[in-house]
């Protein structure tokens, strides 16, 4: 039997075949988790948000517009993370920045995080997410543009600058 | 030729066409700056490839499956309602969904109506069942008044159709026990009445019948029933039977045997 594409599966989910969401979960929950973990550096939070992403896919299934599934999924993941940090910031009255920072747990830096992850952590969240989506998850510029609401050209320019920054930080670290 | 550092990423990713690639390759042979930049980029790319893919703990899957299960059991109507609210306004889909909701409502109303019809049908079925019982009761009573003993037995046996027979039926059976000339009908009446031996009417009827009944097999059937229901005031008529000359010896034996059990 031919394997169904993500989009075909999601289309059946959107008309009520919820069991197919299990297939999508098995295919993608690791990607979502790793994306979130690279973005925030917190495993527990990443697990919670991974659950939230699939919960939202289920809840908002009928609003699926038959576009690229992974783009949609990462858009939801990204928004969930943003919402979390916005709420977190409000709770802690930190008004200095509206962007969210990578919350590396200091004690674990030496053991748990790779040099690359530590280098990624020094970038801004918007630079980091471009690199993570493109390099770890193979999302193309065009789809990234859809996810972050930008244009492929702007994504490409921003990406190359971000990569330059990452490269210099990384090379100093090793 | 100027430096190619800006194109090195695409070069490594294999996104350039043959011509562009060839140009960069030839530049790299001559330019040590770009060569070094390429080596560094390769190192970074290597780090990306070596980065571990982590697996989340099991609880993520467990919670997801739980949430999915509970969603599957949620009523269709509520999800439809939610989904309309989630959709952006002015969307054509929203309007379509509203129409769909309308249709669903219509269908729901139809089903409700149907359901009510069904309930009414069930009610009338219950009424019919009740009427059936009534008819059977009439049939039973009329059969018991029939000339032919076998018809009367048939009538008595209809008692099995009634779970909670009313007084009229019980009285009809009691009458059979006292008045029927045929011993077999009387015996069947005892058997029928024994199902309702807990009833005061039946108990009294049994005790009274013990005094009047002459047939030994019916006497024994009544005695056994009275013992079963532990009728205290059954002792007197039994003792009376013992004193009677025409009482069969085996009936006396039976009475002697059970008298102890009663008191």
Q: Is the pLDDT of residue A27 over 80?
A: yes
Residues of B with CB under 8 A from a CB of A: 6, 9, 40-41, 43-44, 47-48, 50-57, 59-61, 63-65, 67-68, 71-72, 79, 82-83, 86-87, 97
Cα distance between residue A170 and residue A162, in whole Å: 12
Asked if residues B82 and A59 have their Cβ atoms less than 8 Å apart, the reply is yes
For B62, the token pair is: 């467990």
Q: Select from B205, B190, B192 the least CA-distant residue to B159.
A: B192
Predicted confidence band at A93 (pLDDT cuts at 50, 70, 90)?
very low
User: What pLDDT was estimated at residue A2?
Assistant: 67
Among candidates A44, A37, A29, which has minimal Cα distance to A116? Answer: A37
According to the model, what pLDDT value does residue B126 have?
A: 72
User: Which two tokens mark A51?
Assistant: 């659950």
Taking CB atoms and an 8 Å cutoff, what residues of chain B touch A46?
A: 56
- Is A112 touching B (CB cutoff 8 A)? no
Mutate to test the interface with B, among A45, A56, A58 (most CBs of B within 10 A): A58
> What long-range pairs does B64-69 form, CB within 8 A, spacing at least 24?
B64/A25, B64/A29, B64/A51, B64/A54, B64/A55, B65/A22, B67/A51, B67/A54, B67/A55, B67/A58, B68/A18, B68/A21, B68/A22, B68/A58
- Across residues A21-45, what is the average pLDDT? 93
Size of interface A-B (CB pairs under 8 A): 84
Per-residue pLDDT of chain B (263 residues; tens, 9 = 90+): 678 888 898 899 888 999 999 999 999 999 999 999 999 999 999 999 999 889 999 999 999 999 999 888 874 545 555 555 555 555 677 778 888 888 888 888 888 887 777 777 777 777 777 777 777 777 777 777 778 888 888 888 888 777 777 788 888 888 888 888 888 888 888 888 888 877 888 888 888 888 888 888 888 888 888 888 877 778 888 888 888 878 888 888 888 888 777 76
- Distance CA(B153)–CA(B92), nearest Å, equals 77
Contact A37 B47 (CB under 8 A): no
CA distances from B67 to B73, B83, B178, B252 (A): 10, 17, 72, 77
Q: How confident is the model at residue A92 (pLDDT cuts 50, 70, 90)?
A: very low
**ipTM computed for the complex:** 0.83
User: pTM higher than 0.80 for the full model?
Assistant: no
Contacts 24+ apart (CB under 8 A), B74-79: B76/B104, B77/B104, B77/B108, B79/A62
Could you tell me where the beta strands, DSSP code E, fall in chain A?
none
Q: Are A29 and A92 in contact (CB under 8 A)?
A: no
Taking an 8 Å cut-off on Cβ atoms, the answer to whether B56 and A63 are in contact is no
> B9 to chain A: which residues are within 8 Å by CB?
160, 163
Tell whether A23 lies on the interface with B, counting CB pairs under 8 A: no
More confident residue, B39 or A2: B39
């Amino acid at each position: 039997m031919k394997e169904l594409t993500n989009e075909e599966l999601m289309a059946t989910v959107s008309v009520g075949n919820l069991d197919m969401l299990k297939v999508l979960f098995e295919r993608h929950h690791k990607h979502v988790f790793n994306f979130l973990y690279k973005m925030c550096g917190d495993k527990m939070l990443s697990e919670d948000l991974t659950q939230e992403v699939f919960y939202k896919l289920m809840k908002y299934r009928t609003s699926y517009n038959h576009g690229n599934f992974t783009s949609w999924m990462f858009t939801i993941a990204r928004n969930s993370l943003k919402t979390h940090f916005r709420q977190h910031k409000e709770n802690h009255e930190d008004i200095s920045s509206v962007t969210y920072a990578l919350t590396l747990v200091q004690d674990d830096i030496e053991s748990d995080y790779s040099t690359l992850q530590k280098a990624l952590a020094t970038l801004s969240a918007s630079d980091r997410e471009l690199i993570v989506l493109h390099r770890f998850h193979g999302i193309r510029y065009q789809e990234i543009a859809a996810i972050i609401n930008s244009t492929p050209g702007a994504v490409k320019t921003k990406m190359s600058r971000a990569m330059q920054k990452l490269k210099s930080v990384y090379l100093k670290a090793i | 030729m100027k430096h190619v550092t800006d194109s090195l990423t695409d070069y490594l990713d294999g996104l350039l066409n043959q011509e562009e690639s060839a140009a960069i390759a030839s530049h790299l042979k001559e330019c040590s700056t770009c060569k070094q930049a390429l080596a560094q980029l390769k190192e970074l790319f290597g780090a990306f490839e070596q980065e571990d893919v982590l697996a989340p703990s099991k609880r993520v899957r467990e919670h997801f499956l739980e949430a999915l299960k509970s969603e599957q059991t949620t009523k269709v109507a509520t999800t439809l309602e939610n989904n309309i609210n989630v959709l952006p306004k002015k969307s054509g889909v929203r309007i379509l969904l509203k129409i769909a909701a309308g249709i669903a409502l219509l269908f729901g109303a139809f089903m409700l109506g149907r359901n009510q019809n069904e309930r009414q049908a069930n009610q009338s079925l219950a009424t019919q069942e009740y009427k059936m019982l009534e008819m059977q009761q009439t049939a039973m009573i009329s059969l018991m008044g029939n000339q032919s003993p076998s018809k009367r037995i048939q009538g008595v046996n209809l008692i099995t159709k009634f779970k909670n027979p009313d007084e009229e039926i019980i009285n009809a059976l009691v009458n059979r026990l006292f008045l029927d000339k045929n011993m077999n009908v009387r015996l069947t009446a005892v058997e029928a009445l024994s199902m309702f031996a807990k009833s005061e009417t039946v108990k009294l009827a049994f005790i009274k019948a013990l005094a009047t009944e002459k047939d030994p097999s019916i006497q024994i059937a009544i005695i056994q029933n009275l013992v079963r229901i532990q009728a205290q005031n059954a002792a007197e008529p039994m003792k009376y039977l013992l004193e009677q000359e025409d009482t069969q010896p085996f009936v006396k034996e039976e009475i002697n045997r059970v008298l102890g059990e009663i008191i």
